[in-house]
Structure 1
Amino acid sequence: MYRWWDGLQRCYPDARTINQQAYKRLKAACAEAVRREAIAINPVDVRDAARRVETKEKYLPEDAELLGILGEVPARYRALTSLVLHHGLRIGEAIALELKDVTVEPLPAPWMPRVTVTVRQNAQRITDGGGNHMEVQPPKTRAGFREVPIMSVDVPYFLAHLGLYVPAVDTPLRLATGIRNARLFTATAQGKMVMDTSYRNVLGNAKERAGVSMDIDPHTGRNWLITRLAEQGAHLKEIGKLLGQDDVSTILDVYMKVRAGRTTSLMDRVSQSLGGDCNGRK
C-alpha cells in the first residue's frame, strides 16, 4: 500500500487533492469488503495520505477586473463570460446552455427586461481515439438543476447576444447515448459547440488586453459571486441554490473569501452604530 501511494505521488505530484480522493475511495471500498467479509482487515492505512491537503488560495478579483474582462472579450462571448464570471455558472454549464433555457420577461418602461437562465445540463471535454470533443451530460447532483436570474446590469449583454449571435440552425450535440440536435445559446462562428479550451484562450487574451490578474479563471466567478452574495446578507442555502452547490462546507471552505478592506468597512459600520463616524469621533 505504501508503494502504491508513493508511486502515485511521484507520477502525479501536482494532483495532491485528486490523489487523496483516490486514496479515500480505495479505503472506503476496502472497508466495504471487510464489512462483507471478503477480506479480513482493511489494508489501506497510510498516515500521510490522510493529512489535509493545503491548496493554493483562490484569487478573489476586484469588481473592476471582471468589468474590464467583459469589456475586452469578443462580443460573441460576452454573455457567456457574464454567465461564468458574474453569475457563477461552471464553464461546462455555460457552454451547454440552449436557447430554450434563456427566458426574457418584458417589464414596463423604463425597467430593463428580466432575464433568467435555467441550468439543465453540463458539457464535459472527453478525450478518445478521435481526439477531444464536448459531451453533454446531466448535472452531477440535483442541486445542479437550477434557475439563475441575470443581474440587470448584465441584461444588455444577453439582449445583444440574442439579437446578433444565437446560431441560426441547430447544432449536433454529442451525448453518451448518441447525437441530439439543439439550438445553443452560444456557439462558434461556424455554429459548433465551444470547446472549453478554446474559451479559456479567449478569456486569457481578454485578461491581457484588460491588464488584470492572470490568476482569474472561469472558476473565479464562483468565488466572486459567493463572496458578494454573503456580503449582501444571503444565507448559505440561498447561495447554494443559485450556485448549484448543496455542500455547505464547500461553500464556506473553498469558495467564500474576504475582500480586501471588507473587515475595515465592517468595523466602521459597528463604530457608526455606536454613534461614531469613520474616524472614531462622536
Structure 2
Amino acid sequence: MSRVRALQPRQPKALAVDEEPEYITEFRQAMLARGLSTRTRNAYVRDLRHCETMCPKALTRWDDTDVLHCLTSLQKADKTPRTQARMLSSLRQFYLWMVGNERREDNPCARIKAPKIGRALPKDLSESDVENLLGAPDTSTAIGLRDKAMLEVLYACGLRVSELMNLSLEQVNLNAGWLQITGKGNKTRLVPLGDYANMALSDYLTHGRRDLVAHLKAGNCQAVFLTTQGGYMTRQNFWYMLKKYAKVAGITKDISPHTLRHAFATHLLNHGADLRSVQLLLGHSDLSTTQIYTHVATARLQALHQAHHPRG
C-alpha cells in the first residue's frame, strides 16, 4: 500500500510496454486524442499485445483468418466468452483506426461476430446487509467517522469508486444536500445526498476530518476523504476497507465497491423509482445500461413469489 501523500486525485498511469511496435504507440496517441481514459487505453493496448502472441504476423498484416485463429486460441485457452468478445472489440477498434487513417482498406473484424456472452446480473446486496455494513465502522474515532461517511455516501449516491476517491471539498454542498460529481467522459451531474449520508458526511467534516487535518497538518489537500498520510485515497485503500467492514457486518458473500452502486440502483427501483431517474443519478449515458437493474428487481420479486405464494 502506498505511503506517499497524494495532494491531487490519484490517476492511473499509462501501461508501460517494452519494445512496443510503432503502430501500437501511434494507436495509443490516437486514443489519447479522442479523449479516452487511461484505463481504456491501457485495456486496448493490453488486449492487442496479447493478441499479437497468437500469430507470428504483425497485427497490421492480419486478415480475417488470423482474427478467427486468435479467437479459437483464446477459446482453447479457456478464456471466457466475455474475454474473447473484449479482445475482438479491441482488434476492431485498432483496424477501424487503421482504415480511418488509410493504412489499410479493410477491417478484418468486420464480418466476425462476437461470442454470445449474455448479460450477468450485478451482485446483489440486501437492504439488511447494507444496514449492517453501514453500521460497522467505529464512529468514536476520526477514521471511523471517515469510513462511515464514505460508506453512507457511496450507497446514498450510487457513486463509482473513483468518483468517491476523487471527491473534493468544492464538490460538496451540505446546505443544499447535493454533490457535484464529475464522472466518465468528464460529464458533470448533481446527486442528492439524502439525510443519513448528509449527517454522516457533516459529522466527519466537522469532527473527523478536522482532527485528521490538525494531526497530519494536511490543510492544503482538498480531498474530502483523507488517508492516514493526509492525501487522496486509492481504490485499493477503499477496497481493503470495505472487505474489513463486510467481515465485521457478517456479510459472507464477496463484495466490491461497485456492489454498493448496484445496491443503490436496485433498491431505488424496488421502492418505486423510475428507470430514467436512476439513469441520471448513476450517470449512465445510455438507458440500456441502467435496464440491467430491472432484471435484478424482477429476479427478487420472482424469488419472493416462489418463497411465499401458496402456489409459487
Asked whether the equivalents of residues 84 and 219 of structure 1 are also in contact (C-alpha less than 8 Å), the reply is: no
What percentage of residue pairs aligned between the two structures are identical?
Answer: 21
> Which residue does the alignment assign to 1:146?
189
Distance 2:184 2:151 in 1: 22
Secondary structure (helix, strand or coil) at the match of 1:165 reads: helix
- State whether structure 2 residue 220 is matched by structure 1 residue 220: no
Partner of 2:3: none
2:208 corresponds to which residue? 165
8 A Cα contact 1:222 1:255, kept in partner: no
Instruction: Name the counterpart of 1:134.
Output: none
- Residue 156 (structure 2) aligned to one of 61, 78, 86: 86
1:227/1:249 Cα in 2 relative to 1: closer, same or farther (>3 Å)? Answer: same
- 1:188 to 1:256, Cα distance in 2 relative to 1, 3 A: farther
**CA deviation profile, 1:2-55 (whole Å, cap 9, x unmatched):** 3333455577936x53542331242254356557765354322685x6122246
Equivalent in the alignment of 1:30 = 95
1:128-156 per-position Cα deviation (integer Å, ceiling 9, x unaligned): xxxxxxxxxxx3325x4111111213332
Cα separation, partners in 2 of 1:192 and 1:18, compared to 1, 3 Å:
farther
Q: Aligned letter for 1:119? A: I
Q: Which position in structure 1 is the counterpart of 2:141?
A: none
1:209 is the counterpart of 2:235: no
User: Which residue of structure 2 lines up, in the alignment, with residue 109 of structure 1?
Assistant: none
1:97 aligns with 2:162: no
For the residue of structure 2 that corresponds to 1:146, the secondary structure is strand
Aligned-pair CA distance for 1:189: 2.3
- What secondary structure, in the 3-state scheme, does the structure 1 residue paired with 2:291 have? helix
> Which of 131, 154, 164 is residue 67 of structure 1 equivalent to?
131
Q: Secondary structure at the match of 2:191?
A: strand
Q: Equivalents in 1 of 2:100, 2:172: separation in Å?
A: 49
Relative to 1, partners in 2 of residues 1:200 and 1:38: Cα closer, same or farther, differing over 3 Å? closer
Structure 2 letter corresponding to 1:140: K
- Equivalenced residue count is 233
TM-score (norm 1): 0.68
The whole-number CA distance in structure 1 between the counterparts of 2:146 and 2:294 is 28
Q: For residue 174 of structure 2, give the secondary structure of its aligned residue in structure 1.
A: strand
Structure-2 separation of matches of 1:90 and 1:8: 31
What secondary structure sits across from 2:85 in the alignment?
Answer: helix
Amino acid in structure 2 at the alignment position of 1:227: T
Q: Aligned equivalents of 1:19 and 1:171: distance in 2?
A: 46
Quote the RMSD (CA, aligned, Å).
3.5
The residue number in structure 2 matching 1:189 is: 228
Matched residue type, 1:92: S
Name the counterpart of 1:199.
238
Residue 86 of structure 2: aligned partner:
21
More strand by share: 1
**Does the aligned pair in 1 maintain the 2:218–2:230 contact within 8 Å?**
yes
Q: Which has the higher helix share?
A: 2
2-structure distance, mates of 1:12, 1:196: 29
The match for 1:5 is: 71
Structure 1 CA distance for aligned equivalents of residues 207 and 255 of structure 2? 28
Gaps of 5+ in 1: 106-113, 121-138, 173-180, 267-277
| Equivalent of residue 108 in structure 2, options 43, 56, 80 | 43
Q: Corresponding residue for 1:155? A: 198
TM-score normalised to structure 2 length: 0.63
Instruction: Give the unaligned 5+ runs of structure 2.
Output: 1-65, 138-143
Q: For the residues of structure 2 that align with 1:6 and 1:171, how far apart are their CA atoms?
A: 54
1:208, distance to aligned residue in structure 2 (A): 0.8
